[in-house]
Structure 1
Amino acid sequence: MPPLVKIRSEREQMSAIERRIADFILDNAHLLRDYSSQQLANALGISQSSVVKFSQKLGFKGYPDLKYSVGAAVALASNGNGDVAEWPPENDPHGYLQVAEGLRRSKAAAEEETRVANPQEEVEAVIALIDAAPKVFVYGLGDDGLYAREFAMRLALLGILTVQHADPILMTANLSAARPGDVLLVFSEFGKLPQLWQLSRQFQEMGGKVVSITRHTANPLRAHADASLAICAHDPQPPVAQLLYRCSLQYLLDFVFVLLCHANSDRQRQLALNQERIQQLIDN
């Protein structure tokens, strides 16, 4: 897993000193190569041993190993040789090309981080749960609800019996129909809403399995789910970070959908049949 992704994902479980080191590295990754462990410790007002222990806790041999790994990740995120591409002002007076290229690179990097953050065995476990489930319940609020609804429709096209609601009261009422082996997909960007934990706990008490879809951070919903899908999307500009979350989420859902098609040939036949029926309705 890329070092910056690992630091972000484990930050909320760190001690106060470890979070200070993590935040400094995340905010100054491109400058880390110029810092020795002692210089980093001096900048943060902590001991050098704290920096070394932080590096080792992340799985590195020591600070030099961490610094090298971060430097390699920063270079990879640029144009391949560590230098950010420059656009001549006279050819791009309003920064149009620079913004377009920057957004393209950011999306590609976020999708790649998302892919790495979801190991094959964990994704396959989610696929197995959905494919074998008698019913799949899908739930999300707000913007999450939009993606939950769209994914529920895709599952239905595969012939999977799907129950989807954006209303917590209606979804709670529908839990009476849950049976052992059913799956609940919970979409929540930050995974911190209390009603989501309650809904998930009730579903598990009825013998169902919960799959969380959240940011790649430590959060209550993800911690108590039976399986999880993690979304990576980080940018210093909040509007861009939100866009990256959406594109990474869509990428991961598309990946899961394609894997579901490949996992069961009957699903592919059902998809083709449903698409034909829908086309007939449109034509008529």
Structure 2
Amino acid sequence: MPPLLKIRSERDSMSAIERRIADFILDNAHLLRDYSSQQLASALGISQSSVVKFSQKLGFKGYPDLKYSVGEAVARAGNGQAEAARQPAAGDDAYAALDASLRASKAAAEEETRLLNPRADVETIVGLLDQAPKVFVCGLGDDGVYAREFAMRLSLLGVLTVHHADPILLISNLSAVRPGDVLLMFSEFGQMPQLGHAAREFQGAGGKLVSITRHTANPLRAMADASLAISAHDPAPHIEQLLYRSSLQYLLDFVFVLLCQSNPERHRQLAHNLERVQHLLAS
């Protein structure tokens, strides 16, 4: 896993001093090569041993090993962005440069999201969905858009799907929950109390909770039986939101394709249902 992604992914479980080191490295990765462990410690007002222990806790031999790895990652990212920016832009073309930058950022966010969701975890979730008697899907706001679309895709595969855009209505439907049923809960930040309450009630009724949130420590993800984590980081808030949506869509698409490929009956049902839809649209 790339060092900056590893630091980001483990930040929320770090101590206060470790988070200060992590934040400094994430914000100043391109400058880290100029800092010795003592200089970094002095800049943060901590001991040099704290910097060394931080490096070792991340799996590096020491701070020089961490600094070299971060430097390589920054250089690779810089070369890739420069190459992407050069190809479409013959001159000072802001339009082409912006296009290349956005495509490169989306690709990087999707790659980080892929690395944050190990094969075993994704396959476990695919198995839960494939074997579930019913799949409940819930999401609010922007999350609701992706929840509704994914619920439709599950239905096309022949999965009995119950979509809710209101957690209160979901709670009112808990009498229909049976052991083995799955709740896909979409929540970018995983902080909304009403969603957490609905999820606990669902688990209490014997169902399994799969959370879909940012890769942060949040209540919904902490209580989930399984989770999908989305990576999206950019200094510009509007770009960061686009990266989140792009990475989320990539991950949902991959889960959908795995469901199709892992069960031939699902694939057959999809073809049959798509044919039905086409017939209705053509009539």
- TM-score strictly above 0.5: yes
CA deviation after TM superposition for structure 1 residue 78, in Å: 2.5
User: CA separation in 1, counterparts of 2:137 and 2:180?
Assistant: 15
| 2:85/2:101 contact within 8 Å kept | no
TM-score, with length taken from structure 2: 0.95
- Name the SS of the counterpart of 2:79 in structure 1: coil
Kindly indicate whether residue 198 of structure 2 is the aligned counterpart of residue 185 of structure 1: no
User: Identity percentage over the alignment?
Assistant: 73
Q: Which residue of 2 aligns with 1:173?
A: 172
23-32 or 65-74: which moved more? 65-74
CA deviation after TM superposition for structure 1 residue 244, in Å: 0.2
Q: Which residue of 2 aligns with 1:103?
A: 102
The one-letter code sitting in structure 2 at the alignment partner of 1:214 is: T
User: CA separation in 1, counterparts of 2:232 and 2:34?
Assistant: 26
The one-letter code sitting in structure 2 at the alignment partner of 1:78 is: G
| 2:139/2:147 contact within 8 Å kept | yes
Kindly indicate whether residue 211 of structure 2 is the aligned counterpart of residue 212 of structure 1: yes
140-149 or 17-26: which moved more? 17-26
The one-letter code sitting in structure 2 at the alignment partner of 1:112 is: E
| 1:115/1:252 contact within 8 Å kept | yes
Change (3 A) 1:88 1:122: closer
Q: Which runs of 5+ in 2 are unaligned?
A: none
Q: Deviations over 1:184-241 (max 9, x none)?
A: 0000111111112211111111111100101111111111100010101101111110
TM-score, with length taken from structure 1: 0.95
Q: Which residue of 1 aligns with 2:22?
A: 22
Change (3 A) 1:90 1:213: closer
Alignment length, in residue pairs?
283
| 2:211/2:226 contact within 8 Å kept | yes
Q: Which residue of 2 aligns with 1:270?
A: 269
The one-letter code sitting in structure 2 at the alignment partner of 1:125 is: T
Q: Which residue of 1 aligns with 2:46?
A: 46
Change (3 A) 1:42 1:82: farther
8-17 or 268-277: which moved more? 8-17
CA deviation after TM superposition for structure 1 residue 36, in Å: 1.1
Kindly indicate whether residue 224 of structure 2 is the aligned counterpart of residue 225 of structure 1: yes
Q: Which runs of 5+ in 1 are unaligned?
A: none
Q: Deviations over 1:140-173 (max 9, x none)?
A: 1110000000000000000000001111111111
83-92 or 70-79: which moved more? 83-92
Residue correspondence of structure 1 range 1-284 to structure 2 within 5 A: 1-80=1-80, 91-92=91-92, 95-284=94-283
The one-letter code sitting in structure 2 at the alignment partner of 1:196 is: L
- Name the SS of the counterpart of 1:233 in structure 2: coil
| 1:145/1:187 contact within 8 Å kept | yes
Q: Deviations over 1:1-43 (max 9, x none)?
A: 2221221122222222111111111111111122111111111
Change (3 A) 1:168 1:88: closer
CA deviation after TM superposition for structure 1 residue 60, in Å: 1.7
User: CA separation in 1, counterparts of 2:22 and 2:82?
Assistant: 22
Indicate the structure whose relative CO is greater, using CA pairs within 8 Å and at least 6 residues apart: 1
Change (3 A) 1:58 1:180: same
The one-letter code sitting in structure 2 at the alignment partner of 1:21 is: I
| 1:74/1:82 contact within 8 Å kept | no
Change (3 A) 1:123 1:87: closer
80-89 or 271-280: which moved more? 80-89
Change (3 A) 1:101 1:88: closer
